[in-house]
């Protein structure tokens, strides 16, 4: 019985971060420019606090100017918009990230659309979404998680996916839809599946590439997977497990990794798969934003 290759997102992210660090040092040496990343976090969501700390630590390790704005959970929409406007007009800031989820009284769309498209390193602004959907990504920002997934797929199958069929499970604006656009640009044949898809296992079983982004622990089983498929697991779910008479919390993905690995050619684990690549792609987007803002173009 074959065992799938473990796609090591941690290793890939470390290699990408090293490249970004070298290019950041060269940007400072040759042009006196330091990429600036501002993260806005509103409220005390524990998971968000962890994510923001990881982003800040990675940004500083890459040599970026890293700024964090922590606002109270009851901050008004006008107060947050005023901060975004100030960051849009700050020449030392090249990337702005609004940490999600937001407190319920704040309008996510209003805030993400308030970020200047050229500083929208999350790729959530409608202008960046439109450029991605139309294939005009030269100066666009692609959402970090799909961009990281795409690098993992390309490492397995190459940059031209002609002849491959891909199923994206999930249709969110953050992962599912942009993931489909990226796969389509690479010439794959795409199906976007979701909770209302009839015979979901049967649909997935036809795919050479599976991207699971539904947020349901261990949902995708081995019998859903075509032998030899490449499987990318975007899910991060916290479940309770019992070991040696003790109950503890454990992170798991949307795929049943142990069983899927007996069928797939390659698969990403959780943790250690897509997560580290998401943060690395945020750094790549911020460096890119700094170069574009300075009229330097891209390497």
The rounded mean pLDDT for the chain is 94
The answer to whether 207 touches 231, Cβ cutoff 8 Å, is: no
pLDDT above 70 for 298: no
| Domain identity same for 151 and 265 | yes
pLDDT of residue 241: 78
Residue 191 lies in a domain: yes
Judged against a pLDDT cut of 80, whether residue 2 lies above it is answered with no
Q: What is the pLDDT of residue 166?
A: 98
What pLDDT, in 10s, does the model give residues 76-104?
999 999 999 999 999 999 999 999 999 99
Can you give the pLDDT at residue 114?
98
Is residue 257 a part of any domain in this protein? Answer: yes
165 CB burial (10 A radius; 0-12, 13-18, 19+): middle
Q: What is the pLDDT of residues 139-180, one digit of tens each?
A: 999 999 999 999 999 999 999 999 999 999 999 999 999 999
Total domains present in the chain: 2
| CATH code where residue 76 lies | 3.40.50.10860
Interval 5-25 mean pLDDT: 97
Looking at the structure, tell me whether residues 106 and 163 fall in a common domain. no
Catalogue the active-site residues. Answer: 55, 99, 122
Question: What is the token pair recorded at 221?
Answer: 């089983």
Domain match, 112 and 159 both: no
Q: Tell me, what CATH number does 181's domain have?
A: 3.40.50.720
Confidence of residue 1 (pLDDT cuts 50, 70, 90): low
Task: Identify whether 213 is part of a domain.
Answer: yes
Q: Enter the tokens of residue 127.
A: 């202008």
pTM assigned to the model: 0.94
Task: Give pLDDT tens digits for 169-188.
Answer: 999 999 999 999 999 999 99
Name the more confident of 250 and 27: 27
User: In whole angstroms, what is the distance from residue 34 CA to residue 94 CA?
Assistant: 9
Phi and psi dihedrals of 230, rounded to 5? -100, 125
pLDDT confidence of residue 27: 96
Contact 125, 174 (CB under 8 A): no
- CA–CA distance, 218 with 15 (Å, rounded to integer): 29
The two structure tokens encoding residue 142: 């692609």
**Domain membership flag for residue 206:** yes
Residue 112, domain member (yes or no): yes
Q: Which domain holds residue 104?
A: 31-116
Residue 40's beta-bridge partner residues? Answer: 69, 98
* In-domain check, residue 188: yes
Mean pLDDT on 250-261: 94
Is 230 in the same domain as 160? yes
Q: How big is the chain by its Cα radius of gyration, in Å?
A: 20
Q: What residues have CB less than 8 Å from 218, skipping those under 6 apart?
A: 237, 252, 253, 254, 255, 256
- Considering the domain architecture, whether residues 66 and 189 belong to the same structural domain is answered as no
**C-alpha angle 59/178/10, rounded to 5°?**
40
**Distance between CA atoms of residues 131 and 142, nearest Å:** 9
Confidence of residue 299 (pLDDT cuts 50, 70, 90): low
């Amino acid at each position: 019985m074959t065992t799938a290759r473990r796609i090591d997102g941690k290793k890939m992210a470390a290699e990408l971060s090293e490249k970004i660090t070298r290019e950041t040092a060269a940007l400072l040496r040759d042009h006196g420019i330091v990429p600036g990343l501002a993260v806005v976090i509103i409220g005390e969501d524990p998971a968000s606090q962890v994510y923001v700390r990881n982003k800040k630590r990675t940004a500083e390790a890459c040599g970026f100017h890293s700024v964090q704005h922590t606002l109270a959970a009851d901050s008004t929409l006008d107060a947050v918009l005023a901060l975004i406007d100030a960051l849009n007009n700050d020449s030392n800031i090249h990337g702005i990230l609004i940490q999600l989820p937001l407190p319920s009284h704040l309008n996510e769309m209003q805030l993400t659309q308030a970020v200047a498209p050229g500083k929208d390193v999350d790729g959530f602004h409608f202008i960046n979404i439109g450029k991605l959907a139309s294939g005009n990504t030269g100066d666009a920002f692609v959402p970090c998680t799909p961009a990281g997934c795409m690098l993992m797929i390309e490492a397995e199958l190459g940059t031209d996916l002609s002849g491959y069929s891909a199923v994206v499970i999930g249709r969110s604006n953050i992962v599912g839809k942009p993931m489909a656009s990226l796969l389509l640009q690479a010439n794959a044949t795409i199906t976007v599946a979701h909770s209302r898809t009839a015979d979901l296992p049967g649909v997935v079983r036809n795919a050479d590439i599976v991207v699971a982004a539904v947020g349901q622990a261990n949902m995708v089983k081995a019998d859903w997977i075509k032998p030899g498929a490449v499987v990318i697991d975007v899910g991060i779910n916290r479940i309770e497990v019992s070991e040696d008479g003790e109950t503890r919390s454990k992170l798991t993905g949307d795929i049943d990794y142990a069983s899927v690995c007996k069928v797939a050619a390659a698969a990403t684990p959780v943790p250690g798969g897509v997560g580290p690549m998401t943060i690395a792609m945020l750094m790549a987007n911020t460096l890119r934003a700094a170069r574009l803002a300075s009229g330097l173009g891209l390497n």
